Amino acid sequence: MAQNADYYKVLGVGEKAGADDIKKAYRRLAKQYHPDANPNNPSAAERFKQISEAHGVLSDPEKRKQYDLMRRFGAFTPRAGGGSGGGAARPRAEDFDFTKGFDGFGGLGDLFSSIFGKGRRAEPPEVVEIAATVPFKVSALGGRVPVTLNVTEACPVCGGSGAAPGASISLCKECQGRGEIAFGQGAFAVKRPCPACRARGRVASAACDRCGGRGDVQVERRLMVDVPAGVESGHKLRLKGQGQRGQDGAVGDVVVTVTVAPDKFLRREGPDIVCTVPINLAQAVFGTRVRVRTVEGRRVVLRVPAGTQPGRKFRIRGQGIEDRGKRGDQLVEIQVHIPEQVNPEQEALLREFADKAGLKY
Protein backbone atom coordinates (compact mmCIF):
# COMPACT_ATOMS: atom_id res chain seq x y z
CA MET A 1 0.00 0.00 0.00
CA ALA A 2 1.16 3.54 -0.60
CA GLN A 3 2.68 5.04 2.49
CA ASN A 4 -0.03 7.56 3.15
CA ALA A 5 -3.11 5.85 1.70
CA ASP A 6 -6.34 6.71 3.46
CA TYR A 7 -8.38 3.78 4.81
CA TYR A 8 -11.64 5.57 4.00
CA LYS A 9 -10.54 6.10 0.41
CA VAL A 10 -9.41 2.50 0.17
CA LEU A 11 -12.95 1.34 0.93
CA GLY A 12 -14.56 4.19 -0.96
CA VAL A 13 -16.58 5.48 2.01
CA GLY A 14 -16.83 8.80 3.79
CA GLU A 15 -15.26 9.42 7.18
CA LYS A 16 -18.73 9.53 8.74
CA ALA A 17 -19.74 6.18 7.23
CA GLY A 18 -21.60 3.84 9.57
CA ALA A 19 -20.64 0.27 10.41
CA ASP A 20 -23.10 -1.15 7.89
CA ASP A 21 -21.73 1.04 5.08
CA ILE A 22 -18.18 -0.05 5.89
CA LYS A 23 -19.22 -3.70 5.95
CA LYS A 24 -21.04 -3.44 2.59
CA ALA A 25 -18.10 -1.67 0.96
CA TYR A 26 -15.67 -4.26 2.28
CA ARG A 27 -17.75 -7.22 1.07
CA ARG A 28 -18.17 -5.70 -2.38
CA LEU A 29 -14.48 -4.93 -2.82
CA ALA A 30 -13.25 -8.15 -1.21
CA LYS A 31 -15.39 -10.16 -3.61
CA GLN A 32 -14.05 -8.16 -6.55
CA TYR A 33 -10.36 -8.40 -5.65
CA HIS A 34 -10.22 -11.77 -3.84
CA PRO A 35 -7.19 -13.82 -4.97
CA ASP A 36 -9.42 -16.77 -5.84
CA ALA A 37 -11.27 -14.57 -8.33
CA ASN A 38 -8.02 -13.11 -9.68
CA PRO A 39 -5.47 -15.92 -9.99
CA ASN A 40 -1.94 -14.91 -10.96
CA ASN A 41 -2.79 -11.24 -10.49
CA PRO A 42 -0.35 -9.63 -8.01
CA SER A 43 -1.99 -6.22 -8.20
CA ALA A 44 -5.38 -7.70 -7.25
CA ALA A 45 -3.75 -9.57 -4.36
CA GLU A 46 -2.12 -6.37 -3.12
CA ARG A 47 -5.41 -4.53 -3.47
CA PHE A 48 -7.15 -7.26 -1.47
CA LYS A 49 -4.57 -6.83 1.31
CA GLN A 50 -5.24 -3.09 1.35
CA ILE A 51 -8.99 -3.67 1.60
CA SER A 52 -8.58 -6.20 4.43
CA GLU A 53 -6.25 -3.86 6.29
CA ALA A 54 -8.64 -0.94 6.03
CA HIS A 55 -11.62 -3.02 7.09
CA GLY A 56 -9.69 -4.47 10.04
CA VAL A 57 -9.23 -0.98 11.50
CA LEU A 58 -12.43 0.80 10.51
CA SER A 59 -14.71 -2.05 11.58
CA ASP A 60 -13.35 -1.96 15.14
CA PRO A 61 -14.79 1.03 17.04
CA GLU A 62 -11.77 1.50 19.31
CA LYS A 63 -9.21 1.10 16.54
CA ARG A 64 -11.20 3.43 14.30
CA LYS A 65 -11.33 6.05 17.05
CA GLN A 66 -7.57 5.97 17.45
CA TYR A 67 -7.01 5.94 13.69
CA ASP A 68 -9.26 8.98 13.24
CA LEU A 69 -7.31 10.79 15.94
CA MET A 70 -4.02 10.16 14.13
CA ARG A 71 -5.68 11.12 10.86
CA ARG A 72 -6.68 14.48 12.31
CA PHE A 73 -3.02 15.07 13.22
CA GLY A 74 -2.27 14.65 9.53
CA ALA A 75 -0.30 11.41 9.81
CA PHE A 76 -1.88 10.15 6.59
CA THR A 77 -1.80 13.39 4.56
CA PRO A 78 1.01 13.75 2.02
CA ARG A 79 3.50 16.45 3.02
CA ALA A 80 3.96 19.49 0.86
CA GLY A 81 7.19 19.84 -1.10
CA GLY A 82 10.39 20.68 0.74
CA GLY A 83 11.94 24.09 1.16
CA SER A 84 10.98 27.06 3.21
CA GLY A 85 7.54 28.23 2.38
CA GLY A 86 4.17 28.97 3.69
CA GLY A 87 3.61 27.14 6.94
CA ALA A 88 4.84 24.08 8.72
CA ALA A 89 4.41 20.76 6.97
CA ARG A 90 1.86 18.42 8.50
CA PRO A 91 3.30 15.41 10.33
CA ARG A 92 3.37 12.08 8.60
CA ALA A 93 3.18 8.60 10.09
CA GLU A 94 6.84 7.95 9.32
CA ASP A 95 7.89 11.14 11.12
CA PHE A 96 6.93 9.79 14.52
CA ASP A 97 9.19 7.66 16.68
CA PHE A 98 6.60 5.22 17.97
CA THR A 99 9.04 3.47 20.24
CA LYS A 100 9.30 6.56 22.45
CA GLY A 101 5.66 7.18 23.05
CA PHE A 102 3.39 10.13 22.28
CA ASP A 103 3.69 12.41 25.26
CA GLY A 104 1.21 15.23 24.88
CA PHE A 105 -0.85 13.48 22.20
CA GLY A 106 -3.56 12.04 24.44
CA GLY A 107 -2.10 8.62 25.14
CA LEU A 108 -1.37 7.54 21.56
CA GLY A 109 1.75 5.67 22.59
CA ASP A 110 0.00 2.33 22.37
CA LEU A 111 -1.29 2.94 18.85
CA PHE A 112 0.91 0.37 17.21
CA SER A 113 0.24 -2.33 19.75
CA SER A 114 -3.52 -1.73 19.82
CA ILE A 115 -4.13 -1.14 16.11
CA PHE A 116 -1.21 -2.13 13.95
CA GLY A 117 0.52 -4.78 16.00
CA LYS A 118 4.00 -3.29 16.08
CA GLY A 119 5.81 -4.55 19.16
CA ARG A 120 2.81 -6.79 19.88
CA ARG A 121 3.20 -8.86 22.98
CA ALA A 122 2.13 -12.47 23.15
CA GLU A 123 -1.50 -12.80 24.03
CA PRO A 124 -1.97 -13.83 27.66
CA PRO A 125 -3.63 -17.20 28.18
CA GLU A 126 -7.39 -16.94 28.21
CA VAL A 127 -9.42 -17.72 31.32
CA VAL A 128 -11.55 -20.84 30.95
CA GLU A 129 -14.96 -20.48 32.60
CA ILE A 130 -17.01 -23.53 33.52
CA ALA A 131 -19.95 -24.32 35.80
CA ALA A 132 -20.06 -26.93 38.54
CA THR A 133 -22.93 -28.32 40.57
CA VAL A 134 -22.02 -28.75 44.23
CA PRO A 135 -23.96 -31.02 46.60
CA PHE A 136 -25.70 -29.21 49.43
CA LYS A 137 -23.56 -30.98 52.04
CA VAL A 138 -20.32 -29.92 50.36
CA SER A 139 -21.52 -26.32 50.08
CA ALA A 140 -22.23 -26.28 53.81
CA LEU A 141 -19.17 -28.09 55.13
CA GLY A 142 -16.65 -27.79 52.29
CA GLY A 143 -15.11 -30.58 50.26
CA ARG A 144 -13.98 -31.48 46.77
CA VAL A 145 -15.94 -31.94 43.55
CA PRO A 146 -14.74 -33.12 40.13
CA VAL A 147 -15.09 -30.97 37.01
CA THR A 148 -14.20 -31.55 33.38
CA LEU A 149 -13.14 -28.96 30.81
CA ASN A 150 -12.00 -28.94 27.20
CA VAL A 151 -8.63 -27.33 26.53
CA THR A 152 -6.27 -27.09 23.57
CA GLU A 153 -2.91 -28.80 24.01
CA ALA A 154 0.07 -29.48 21.80
CA CYS A 155 -0.52 -32.51 19.59
CA PRO A 156 1.12 -35.55 21.25
CA VAL A 157 2.07 -37.00 17.85
CA CYS A 158 3.83 -34.04 16.23
CA GLY A 159 4.68 -32.11 19.40
CA GLY A 160 3.00 -28.99 18.07
CA SER A 161 4.89 -28.77 14.77
CA GLY A 162 1.92 -29.90 12.67
CA ALA A 163 4.19 -32.20 10.68
CA ALA A 164 3.62 -35.89 10.03
CA PRO A 165 6.30 -38.27 11.36
CA GLY A 166 9.22 -38.25 8.93
CA ALA A 167 8.02 -35.16 7.07
CA SER A 168 10.54 -32.50 6.12
CA ILE A 169 10.14 -29.00 7.55
CA SER A 170 11.20 -25.93 5.63
CA LEU A 171 11.10 -22.17 6.00
CA CYS A 172 7.73 -20.64 5.18
CA LYS A 173 8.01 -18.79 1.87
CA GLU A 174 5.06 -16.55 2.61
CA CYS A 175 6.46 -14.96 5.79
CA GLN A 176 10.15 -15.89 5.39
CA GLY A 177 10.10 -17.66 8.75
CA ARG A 178 8.82 -14.70 10.77
CA GLY A 179 5.46 -16.30 11.53
CA GLU A 180 3.59 -13.14 10.56
CA ILE A 181 2.95 -11.11 7.46
CA ALA A 182 3.11 -7.35 7.36
CA PHE A 183 1.51 -4.90 4.99
CA GLY A 184 0.75 -1.28 5.48
CA GLN A 185 1.72 2.27 4.88
CA GLY A 186 5.22 3.27 5.81
CA ALA A 187 5.69 3.20 9.55
CA PHE A 188 2.11 1.97 9.93
CA ALA A 189 2.62 -1.70 9.15
CA VAL A 190 -0.19 -4.07 9.96
CA LYS A 191 1.09 -7.42 11.18
CA ARG A 192 -1.03 -10.53 11.22
CA PRO A 193 -0.31 -14.24 11.85
CA CYS A 194 0.80 -15.94 8.67
CA PRO A 195 -2.02 -18.18 7.40
CA ALA A 196 0.33 -20.37 5.40
CA CYS A 197 2.37 -21.64 8.37
CA ARG A 198 -0.13 -20.83 11.15
CA ALA A 199 2.34 -18.33 12.64
CA ARG A 200 5.03 -20.98 13.14
CA GLY A 201 7.43 -19.73 10.48
CA ARG A 202 7.91 -23.30 9.22
CA VAL A 203 5.86 -25.54 6.94
CA ALA A 204 5.83 -29.32 6.70
CA SER A 205 5.87 -31.40 3.55
CA ALA A 206 3.09 -33.56 5.04
CA ALA A 207 0.55 -32.66 7.73
CA CYS A 208 0.15 -34.64 10.94
CA ASP A 209 -2.80 -37.05 10.73
CA ARG A 210 -3.71 -36.59 14.38
CA CYS A 211 -4.13 -32.80 14.37
CA GLY A 212 -4.52 -32.15 10.64
CA GLY A 213 -1.47 -29.88 10.63
CA ARG A 214 -2.81 -27.52 13.28
CA GLY A 215 -0.26 -28.59 15.87
CA ASP A 216 -2.82 -28.77 18.67
CA VAL A 217 -5.71 -30.98 19.72
CA GLN A 218 -8.75 -30.63 21.95
CA VAL A 219 -8.54 -32.76 25.07
CA GLU A 220 -10.84 -33.26 28.03
CA ARG A 221 -9.21 -32.60 31.38
CA ARG A 222 -10.57 -33.69 34.75
CA LEU A 223 -9.85 -31.52 37.80
CA MET A 224 -10.74 -31.67 41.46
CA VAL A 225 -12.05 -28.38 42.84
CA ASP A 226 -11.57 -27.51 46.51
CA VAL A 227 -14.87 -26.02 47.64
CA PRO A 228 -14.70 -23.92 50.81
CA ALA A 229 -17.45 -24.26 53.39
CA GLY A 230 -20.32 -21.84 53.05
CA VAL A 231 -20.31 -21.25 49.29
CA GLU A 232 -23.59 -20.30 47.63
CA SER A 233 -24.90 -20.45 44.09
CA GLY A 234 -23.16 -17.85 41.94
CA HIS A 235 -19.87 -17.94 43.84
CA LYS A 236 -16.80 -18.16 41.60
CA LEU A 237 -13.75 -20.25 42.44
CA ARG A 238 -10.45 -19.65 40.62
CA LEU A 239 -8.03 -22.48 39.86
CA LYS A 240 -4.62 -20.95 39.22
CA GLY A 241 -2.63 -22.37 36.32
CA GLN A 242 -5.11 -25.12 35.49
CA GLY A 243 -6.53 -23.81 32.22
CA GLN A 244 -5.50 -23.04 28.67
CA ARG A 245 -1.86 -22.62 27.66
CA GLY A 246 -1.15 -19.26 26.07
CA GLN A 247 1.13 -18.22 23.21
CA ASP A 248 3.97 -17.50 25.60
CA GLY A 249 3.71 -20.93 27.23
CA ALA A 250 2.05 -19.66 30.39
CA VAL A 251 -1.02 -21.57 31.58
CA GLY A 252 -4.15 -19.58 32.35
CA ASP A 253 -6.68 -19.99 35.11
CA VAL A 254 -10.00 -21.76 35.34
CA VAL A 255 -12.97 -19.94 36.90
CA VAL A 256 -15.66 -22.25 38.26
CA THR A 257 -19.15 -20.84 38.83
CA VAL A 258 -20.90 -22.75 41.60
CA THR A 259 -24.50 -23.93 41.59
CA VAL A 260 -25.60 -25.53 44.85
CA ALA A 261 -27.84 -28.53 44.33
CA PRO A 262 -31.00 -28.42 46.47
CA ASP A 263 -31.51 -30.94 49.27
CA LYS A 264 -34.86 -32.68 49.62
CA PHE A 265 -34.98 -32.07 53.38
CA LEU A 266 -32.60 -29.22 54.21
CA ARG A 267 -32.45 -25.61 53.03
CA ARG A 268 -30.21 -22.68 53.87
CA GLU A 269 -31.14 -19.42 55.55
CA GLY A 270 -27.99 -17.37 56.09
CA PRO A 271 -25.67 -19.27 58.45
CA ASP A 272 -28.47 -21.60 59.55
CA ILE A 273 -29.94 -24.71 58.03
CA VAL A 274 -33.71 -25.10 58.19
CA CYS A 275 -35.84 -28.21 57.85
CA THR A 276 -39.53 -28.99 58.27
CA VAL A 277 -40.68 -32.00 60.29
CA PRO A 278 -44.34 -33.13 60.10
CA ILE A 279 -46.12 -34.53 63.16
CA ASN A 280 -49.72 -35.61 63.62
CA LEU A 281 -52.39 -34.00 65.76
CA ALA A 282 -51.95 -36.43 68.65
CA GLN A 283 -48.18 -35.86 68.73
CA ALA A 284 -48.72 -32.12 68.85
CA VAL A 285 -51.23 -32.44 71.70
CA PHE A 286 -49.45 -35.05 73.82
CA GLY A 287 -45.83 -34.39 72.85
CA THR A 288 -43.42 -36.76 71.14
CA ARG A 289 -39.85 -37.41 70.07
CA VAL A 290 -38.70 -37.17 66.45
CA ARG A 291 -35.45 -38.09 64.72
CA VAL A 292 -34.00 -35.28 62.60
CA ARG A 293 -31.29 -35.65 59.95
CA THR A 294 -28.44 -33.12 60.05
CA VAL A 295 -26.30 -31.93 57.15
CA GLU A 296 -23.55 -34.29 58.31
CA GLY A 297 -25.92 -37.25 57.97
CA ARG A 298 -26.38 -37.82 61.69
CA ARG A 299 -29.76 -38.51 63.28
CA VAL A 300 -30.54 -36.28 66.24
CA VAL A 301 -33.44 -37.09 68.59
CA LEU A 302 -35.54 -33.97 69.21
CA ARG A 303 -38.09 -33.74 72.00
CA VAL A 304 -41.33 -32.04 70.99
CA PRO A 305 -43.26 -30.94 74.10
CA ALA A 306 -47.01 -31.35 74.51
CA GLY A 307 -49.10 -28.56 73.06
CA THR A 308 -46.59 -27.65 70.33
CA GLN A 309 -48.15 -25.26 67.85
CA PRO A 310 -47.72 -25.47 64.05
CA GLY A 311 -44.72 -23.44 62.83
CA ARG A 312 -42.81 -23.60 66.11
CA LYS A 313 -39.06 -23.88 65.58
CA PHE A 314 -36.56 -25.81 67.64
CA ARG A 315 -32.83 -25.14 67.50
CA ILE A 316 -30.09 -27.75 67.20
CA ARG A 317 -26.93 -25.80 67.93
CA GLY A 318 -23.78 -26.14 65.84
CA GLN A 319 -25.40 -28.01 62.97
CA GLY A 320 -25.61 -25.19 60.44
CA ILE A 321 -23.28 -23.69 57.84
CA GLU A 322 -19.58 -23.58 58.64
CA ASP A 323 -17.94 -20.18 58.17
CA ARG A 324 -14.41 -19.30 59.32
CA GLY A 325 -14.37 -22.03 61.91
CA LYS A 326 -17.83 -21.21 63.30
CA ARG A 327 -21.02 -23.14 62.70
CA GLY A 328 -24.56 -21.89 62.45
CA ASP A 329 -27.50 -23.83 63.85
CA GLN A 330 -30.14 -26.12 62.45
CA LEU A 331 -33.71 -24.92 62.89
CA VAL A 332 -36.43 -27.56 62.94
CA GLU A 333 -39.86 -26.20 62.03
CA ILE A 334 -42.84 -28.26 63.18
CA GLN A 335 -45.65 -28.85 60.76
CA VAL A 336 -48.83 -30.33 62.30
CA HIS A 337 -50.69 -32.59 59.93
CA ILE A 338 -54.47 -32.28 60.17
CA PRO A 339 -56.53 -35.19 58.79
CA GLU A 340 -58.40 -34.21 55.66
CA GLN A 341 -61.13 -36.77 56.27
CA VAL A 342 -62.47 -38.63 59.34
CA ASN A 343 -64.99 -41.44 59.61
CA PRO A 344 -68.28 -41.01 61.51
CA GLU A 345 -66.90 -42.54 64.71
CA GLN A 346 -63.85 -40.28 64.70
CA GLU A 347 -66.03 -37.28 63.96
CA ALA A 348 -68.28 -38.06 66.93
CA LEU A 349 -65.30 -38.37 69.25
CA LEU A 350 -63.84 -35.10 68.02
CA ARG A 351 -67.16 -33.31 68.49
CA GLU A 352 -67.42 -34.70 72.00
CA PHE A 353 -63.90 -33.52 72.74
CA ALA A 354 -64.63 -30.07 71.33
CA ASP A 355 -67.81 -29.74 73.33
CA LYS A 356 -66.12 -30.70 76.59
CA ALA A 357 -63.15 -28.43 75.87
CA GLY A 358 -65.40 -25.53 74.96
CA LEU A 359 -64.06 -25.32 71.41
CA LYS A 360 -66.24 -23.65 68.86
CA TYR A 361 -66.74 -25.22 65.46
Q: Say yes or no: 249 and 276 in one domain.
A: no
Range of the domain at 247: 121-158+216-261
Last residue of a domain, one of 96, 116, 136: 116
Q: Say yes or no: 290 and 332 in one domain.
A: yes
Show contacts of 110-114: CB within 8 Å, 24+ apart: 111/66, 111/70, 112/188, 114/62, 114/63, 114/66
Last residue of a domain, one of 228, 261, 294: 261
Q: Say yes or no: 153 and 249 in one domain.
A: yes
Asked if the structure places residue 2 within a domain, the reply is no
Identify the CATH number of the domain in which residue 313 sits. Answer: 2.60.260.20
How do 313-316 and 254-260 pair as beta strands? unpaired
Identify the CATH number of the domain in which residue 18 sits. Answer: 1.10.287.110
Asked if the structure places residue 178 within a domain, the reply is no
CA dihedral 234, 274, 226, 240 (to 10 degrees): 20
**Contact by Cβ (8 Å): 98, 111:** yes
**Would you state the pLDDT for residue 77?**
56
Asked if the structure places residue 36 within a domain, the reply is yes
**Would you state the pLDDT for residue 325?**
79
**Would you state the pLDDT for residue 247?**
65
Tens of pLDDT, residue by residue, the chain (361 residues): 444 578 998 999 998 899 999 999 999 998 888 877 887 787 888 888 888 888 888 998 888 888 887 777 665 655 444 444 444 444 444 443 433 444 434 444 444 444 444 444 556 778 889 999 999 999 999 999 999 988 888 889 988 888 899 888 888 888 888 888 776 555 455 677 787 787 788 888 898 999 888 888 888 989 999 999 999 999 999 999 888 877 666 888 999 999 999 999 999 999 999 999 999 999 999 999 999 999 999 999 999 999 999 999 999 999 999 887 789 999 999 999 999 999 999 999 999 999 988 988 8
99 burial (CB, 10 Å; 0-12 / 13-18 / 19+) is exposed
Chain centre distance of CA 60: 21
